[in-house]
A and B are shown apart, each in its own frame.
Chain A
Amino acid sequence: MIALRSMLISLFQLPDSFHDFYLHLTGTAPSADILTHCRRELIHAVWRLLLDKEFMEAYTHGVVIKCADGVTRRVYPRILTYSADYPEKYVLH
């Protein structure tokens, strides 16, 4: 668990200014738990932004594309796999 946490810290860094921001906010330096939580918040916020309204519209109603074989189809994007290493998966769940 300790090894995992250290990996998380080395992989998903928040900007330098986060420490100053937290120190100014609470008067103490952020603990490891707070950092882990914020990194998790960061990746979820990023995915919330990536899966935008345009994508969700396409997910529900499809997009009409003239495919490479010349046939026009209504294409519905579906996420079938997501590959990540373990530290990254840890923050995704």
Chain B
Amino acid sequence: MVERLDLGRGRRVKRPTWKLVEQLPQPPSLPRTEPSPPASTTIPSTSESSSPAIVEKLICTAKNVFGLFREYPNLPTHNPDDTASPTLTTQPSQAEQPESSHQPLTVSGLTFANETIALLMNWQSTGSSLKSIAECDRLIKDVLSHPSFRVGDLQNISLRQENARLDEQLHAQPDGWRESTVKIEVPNGQRHGSPDNPPIPTFSIPGLQHRSFVETIKATWADENATHFHYTPFRQFVQQQPDATSERIYDELYSSDAFLEAHKALQNQPPEPDCSLERVVCALMFWSDSTHLASFGTASLWPVYMFFGNQSKYERCAPSSGACHHVAYIPKVCVA
């Protein structure tokens, strides 16, 4: 029996890379019920003078295969690392790719259940190739099947005019950006302060574009992209051998001492009246730098950016994650 040879390009058996063969580092899972007793310790609060001694109970998670474990100041209500996978955090959601070709198809010669479907399929397959299946589904479900949809209303429609009307209405609505004028006091070498002296001269600088911090925070936290936000800070350790001493791991803002201190200070302050909601820290990270817009010229901007430290740095630093929020543009006019 002669072994049959496969002609053409050879086939290579694909082996999984070492990253897949090796187990990916899994974050320690949270204690679902009561805190695990073996590692939990009870330490008194730092403010010993206050009469009701606030006792903090540290909650340690079990070690994972790499010896990683976390120490939470209180039982967290949300564990974003349960759902966050490396592929999820690094790959932004891709829009569905269009499946149509540029070649026009005619209705005749192809069989569809009825003429309406044939017309629609013809429309989807011709013209622009950006009409994905999902978008066409949306057109059918949300527009064509809507009880208020009437073909007769579209007789004299001009999409150009309707777009212009939409733009006007959108411009009339506030988009959160405000323009303000900043006043600074200018020293002129004279004494001020007493009522006899002239007032301090001020100089106005117009054109500061800025947004409300609170509105930005509200919008970001309620957004579904904030599912992986960490609300409870923790300290992370690694113990590679059972008898080795554990080492602290510094990686994220929400595993830093600064976040923990802010969290503890917040829990120790008196709560708002009639409010039993969980109190969490929104860790703001500001960044500002003057930037030049042109290689030849003096056009420049001075933006102030805002990031959230509750988000993992792997997610935050990905350019496509949309984690950066610009909150202000400081006026800057270059002197020639």
Interface residues of A (CB under 8 A from B): 11-16, 18-19, 21-22, 25-26, 34, 37-38, 41-43, 45-46, 49-52, 54-55, 58, 61-69, 71-85, 88
Q: CB within 8 Å of A: which of B202-256?
A: 203, 205, 208, 210, 212-214, 217-218, 221-227, 229, 231, 253, 256
Whether the Cβ atoms of B182 and A45 lie closer than 8 Å is yes
With both beta carbons as reference points, the residue of chain A lying nearest to B336 in the complex is identified as: A16
Give, as a whole number of angstroms, the nearest-CB distance from A74 to chain B: 4
Once bound together, how far apart are the Cα atoms of A71 and B76, in whole Å? 12
Within 8 A of A (CB), among B284-324: 284-290, 302, 304, 309
Main secondary structure of the interface of B (DSSP, over half): mixed
Give the nearest-CB partner of A45 in chain B.
B182
Number of interface residues of B (CB under 8 A): 64
B334 beta carbon closer than 8 Å to chain A: yes
Q: Is the CB–CB distance between B222 and A13 below 8 Å?
A: no
Judge whether A75 and B259 touch: CB under 8 Å: no
Decide: A49 and B210 in contact? CB cutoff 8 A: yes
Q: Chain A interface mostly helix, strand, loop or mixed?
A: mixed
Spell out B's residues near A (CB within 8 Å): 77-78, 180, 182-189, 201, 203, 205, 208, 210, 212-214, 217-218, 221-227, 229, 231, 253, 256, 258-259, 262, 266, 272, 275, 277-290, 302, 304, 309, 327-328, 330-336
User: Which of B279, B287, B334 is close to A73, meaning CB atoms less than 8 Å apart?
Assistant: B279
Known contacts: A25-B201, A50-B304, A79-B284. The answer to whether A61 contacts B272 by CB under 8 A is: yes
- Residues of B near A83 (CB, < 8 A) are 285-288
Complex interface: chain B residues within 8 A of A79 (CB): 284, 286
* Nearest chain A CB to B30 CB, angstrom units: 13
A19 to B336, CA, bound (A): 12
The distance in angstroms between the C-alpha atoms of A85 and B290, with both chains bound, is 9
What's the minimum C-beta distance from B322 to chain A, rounded to whole angstroms?
Answer: 14
CB atoms of A54 and B272 under 8 A apart? no
7 residue pairs of the A-B complex, CB under 8 angstroms, read A25-B201, A58-B217, A68-B226, A73-B277, A73-B280, A75-B281, A80-B283
**Which of B78, B188, B284 has a CB less than 8 Å from the CB of A78?**
B284
| Contact call B184/A63, Cβ cutoff below 8 A | no
Complex formed: what's the CA distance from A26 to B277 in Å? 57
Of the candidates B184, B189, B327, the one whose C-beta lies within 8 Å of that of A50 is: B327
Interface contacts beyond A45-B184, A67-B226, A82-B286: sample of 15 additional A-B pairs, CB < 8 Å, sorted by A:
A12-B332, A41-B185, A45-B183, A49-B182, A54-B213, A65-B217, A65-B218, A68-B227, A73-B231, A73-B277, A76-B281, A78-B266, A79-B284, A80-B253, A80-B285
